[in-house]
Amino acid sequence: MLSIRKIGVIGRTYRHLNRYRQILAILFKYGFGDLVESLKIDQYIEIGLQMFSRRQRPRDDKRTRAERVRMALEELGPTYVKLGQTLSTRPDLVPAEFTEELAKLQDDVPPCAFEEIRAILEYDLKRPTAEAFTRFDPQPLASASIGQVHRARRHDGDEVAVKVQRPGIRKVIEVDLEIMLHMATLMERHIEEIALHRPVKIVEEFARTIERELDYSLEATNMERIAQQFLDDPRVYIPAVYRDTTTERVLTMEYVSGIKVSELAQLKAAGLDPKCITDRGADLFLRQVFDFGFFHADPHPGNIQVLAENVICLLDFGMVGSVDRATRELFVDLIDAVVHRNEVLATQALLRLTEWRDEPDTPELERDVADFMGRNLYRPLKEVKIGRIVQQLLEMVSAYRLRIPPNIFLMMKAFSTVESVAARLDPEFDMIAKSAPFLEKIKLARFSPQRITQDGLQIGTDLLRFARQFPRDLLEVTRLIKQRKISLQIDIVGYERMRATQDQTSNRLAFAIIIAALLIGSALIVISQTPPLVYGISLIGILLFSAGALMGIWLLIAILRKGSL
C-alpha cells in the first residue's frame, strides 16, 4: 500500500523540500506563477522554501495553456504524467481541449541500469536471475516511467517478456502524492473555481488508481480475465501469464512477435488482409464491451499486434474498463434515441447516464441535443465519425455541468481509438454498421424469457425483503418518537444566505445608531462646555465627535466595498 500522509507543514524531510522546489520551478517556467501565488504557499511552508526565486519567467512562445500544462506534467516526472493521463479520461473534471492535449502525454524515459533491475528481480523472485531464467537480455525492449520490459527465456524453453518496476519508484510517487495532496488542499482553500471540482478528492482517487498500476499482479489478472473471454476464439490471442515469476513488481508474460497494426506496408508484405484485420479487431472490441462488460481501455496501435492468419493479439493490460449490464443498456438507449432522432428520449437517457449537482435546464438541453443530432445524423452513415460525435457530446455535457462517469468515458474513448485504427487499415470500414447488431442484441435481450424471469424474481425478492423489514423499521421509528430521540430537520434553500444578509443589516444598523449617539452626545457636551476646555471647546466632546466621524467613515467604506449603499 502507498503510504500517503497529509503534510500541512512541508519541509519535514529534505526530499519533500527539494522536490517542492523542483515543482514550483517548473510551474513558474511554464507560466503558472499566478497559480502558485494564489495558493499562498508562504503561509504554510517553512522558511527554506520561502527563499524560492519568483523571478523566473515563462518561455516566450505561442503555446496554448493546455499545451503548457502537458509540457509541465512531462517535465514533472512519472507521477504527474500518470495524473495527466488519468485526467485525460475525465472530461467531467477538465475541459475538452485539455483532455485532448493530455492524451498526448509521452511515457518514454531512458532505461535504468540492469544491475538495479536484477536486484529487484532477485529480491521479488527470491532466487538468482540465472535460476529463474536461462537467458535474460540486459537491454530492454521498452522503457517507461514506472517500469521497463526485457526479453528472457525460461528453463522450459518458453520465450517471455518480463516487465520490471523501476527501483525506488514507489517512494518517488509517495512524495509526489503527498505534495500533490498538500497543493490540492490549498486550491480548495484559496481558489474558488478550482475548489468546485474537489481537487483533494481527485488526488485521493488518483492515488488509488496509481496504486493499482503499481501492482503488476493486477495486470496479470486482467490479462487472464480477457484471455478467458476469448478462450475458444482462434481469431484472438492473449499472451499467457507465468504466475511463478510474477509478483507486484515483476510481470512475466509470453513473448509475442507480431506486426504492429499500424504498419500497413509490413502487414501487406506478410500476406495479411487489412480488411479482415479491421473487421476482427472491431468485433473483438465490441464483444468485450457489449457481451462481457470488461474491455481493454487503451487499444492504440502500439498495443495491438497482428499474428499469422490475421490473428489479433492485445498487449499491455494496465488500463482496463468495465461497464455493468444496466449501464450498457442505458448507453444503448441513448444511441437508439439519437438514431431515431428523438431528442426527448435522448435527453432523458443522457441525464440517466450522467451525474450532476444542479439539475440542468431540460428544455434547453433538448434543443441542444436536437441540434447535435441534426449536425451528425443527416448524412450517410459512412460519413458519421464516432470520434467527432464523442467530442461534440463532451462539449455539450460540459456546457451543462454534467459529469460522464469514468467507465463510460473510457468506453467512448476506446470506441474512438478503435475507429481511428480501423480508418488506417480500411478507409471504407463502417463502425456504426458493425456496432448495430450488438446494440440490437442488447435491446432484444431485455425481452428474452430468461431475462424476464430473472427480473421478476429480483422484483419479488426485493418486495419480500421490504415486506419483512418495513414493520421493524416502523416499530423502530415509533420507539424513537416516544423516547423523543427523533427530530425533524428542514433545510430551506438560501436560508443561510438570507440569515447572513440579515445579520449584516442588523450590525450596520446598530453601528449607525452608535455613531449617531456619539455625534449627538458629543454635540451636547460641546454646547454645555463640559470641562476640560481647549480654546473654549470641550475636549471630551471633540474626542467623542472624532470617534463618531471615524466610525462613520469606516462604515461608509465597508458599504462601498460591498458595491451597494
**Taking the CB of residue 224, how many other CB atoms lie within 10 A of it?**
14
| pLDDT computed for residue 14 by the predictor | 53
pLDDT tens digits, 43-64:
555 444 554 545 454 554 578 8
What is the dihedral angle through the alpha carbons of 8, 48, 84, 202, rounded to the nearest 10 degrees? 10
Instruction: From the candidates 124, 279, 298, 368, give the one annotated as an active-site residue.
Output: 298
Cis check for the bond before 532: say yes or no (omega within 30 of 0): yes
* Long-range Cβ pairs for the range 65-71 (8 Å, 24+): 66/97, 66/98, 66/100, 66/101, 66/102, 67/101, 68/30, 68/31, 68/32, 69/30, 69/98, 69/101, 69/102, 70/101, 70/102, 70/104, 70/105, 71/30
Asked if the model's pLDDT at residue 86 lies above 80, the reply is no
- What does the pLDDT read at residue 131? 93
Position 168 scores a pLDDT of 87
pLDDT digits (tens, 9 = 90+) for 279-327: 999 999 999 999 999 999 888 888 899 999 999 999 989 888 888 888 8
- Give percent of the chain with pLDDT exceeding 70: 87
Alpha carbon distance 312, 295 (integer Å):
15
CB 149 within 8 A of CB 140: yes
Give 81-129 as a DSSP string: HHHHHHHTT-TTTS-HHHHHHHTT---B-PPPPHHHHHHHHHHHHTS-H
d(C-alpha 419, C-alpha 395), whole Å: 20
At the fourth CATH level, which superfamily is domain 113-166+215-256?
Phosphorylase Kinase; domain 1 (3.30.200.20)
pLDDT in tens, 331-378: 888 888 877 788 888 888 888 888 877 778 888 888 888 888 887 776
| Of 126, 129, 104, nearest in space to 115 by CA | 129
Q: Are 33 and 54 in contact (CB under 8 A)?
A: yes
CB neighbour list of residue 337: distance below 8 Å, 6 or more residues apart: 343, 345, 346, 348, 349
Instruction: Write down the pLDDT at residue 60.
Output: 47
Q: Given pLDDT bands bounded at 50, 70 and 90, which one contains residue 8?
A: very low
Run of H or E residues at 39: helix 33-39
What's the pLDDT score for residue 407? 81
Per-residue pLDDT reduced to its tens digit, 425-476: 888 888 888 888 888 888 888 888 888 888 888 888 888 888 889 888 888 8
Average pLDDT of the residues in 518-542: 82
Q: How far is CA 225 from the centre of its chain?
A: 25
Give the per-residue pLDDT at 275. Answer: 93
Q: What is the pLDDT of residue 548?
A: 82
Residue 557, C-alpha cell as written in the block: 467604506
Q: In whole angstroms, what is the distance from residue 87 CA to residue 199 CA? A: 12
Which of residues 103 and 421 earns the better pLDDT score? 421
Confidence of residue 89 (pLDDT cuts 50, 70, 90): low
Place of cell 449607525: 512
At residue 474, the 3 state secondary structure works out as: helix
Higher per-residue pLDDT: 135 or 558: 135
Q: Which helix (H) or strand (E) holds 254?
A: strand 250-254
Catalytic residue list contains 298: yes
Instruction: Return the ∠ at Cα 182 (arms to 179 and 185), rounded to 5°.
Output: 150
Mode of pairing for the β-strands spanning 311-314 and 236-237: parallel
Task: Extract the C-alpha cell encoding 140.
Answer: 530492454
- For 92-141, how does the pLDDT look when each residue is reduced to its tens digit (9 = 90+)? 667 777 877 887 776 667 888 999 999 999 999 999 999 999 999 999 99
d(CA 176, CA 80) in angstroms, rounded, equals 8
Structural domain boundaries in the chain: 14-106+173-212, 113-166+215-256, 260-446, 511-562
246 by DSSP, 3-state: which?
Answer: coil
pLDDT of residue 393: 79
Q: Quick one: pLDDT at residue 39?
A: 73
Task: Check if the beta carbon of residue 282 is closer than 8 Å to that of residue 418.
Answer: yes
Cα R_g (the chain), whole angstroms: 32
pLDDT at 9: 44
Alpha carbon distance 326, 274 (integer Å): 35
Say what the pLDDT of residue 564 is: 53
More confident residue, 86 or 135: 135
Rounded-to-10 torsion of CA 188, 194, 200, 202: 170
Q: Where are the alpha helices (DSSP H) in 290-361?
A: 325-339, 343-353
In this prediction the pTM is 0.70
What is the average pLDDT score of the chain?
A: 82
* pLDDT for residue 47: 44
Alpha carbon distance 394, 403 (integer Å): 9
pLDDT digits (tens, 9 = 90+) for 35-45: 777 776 655 55
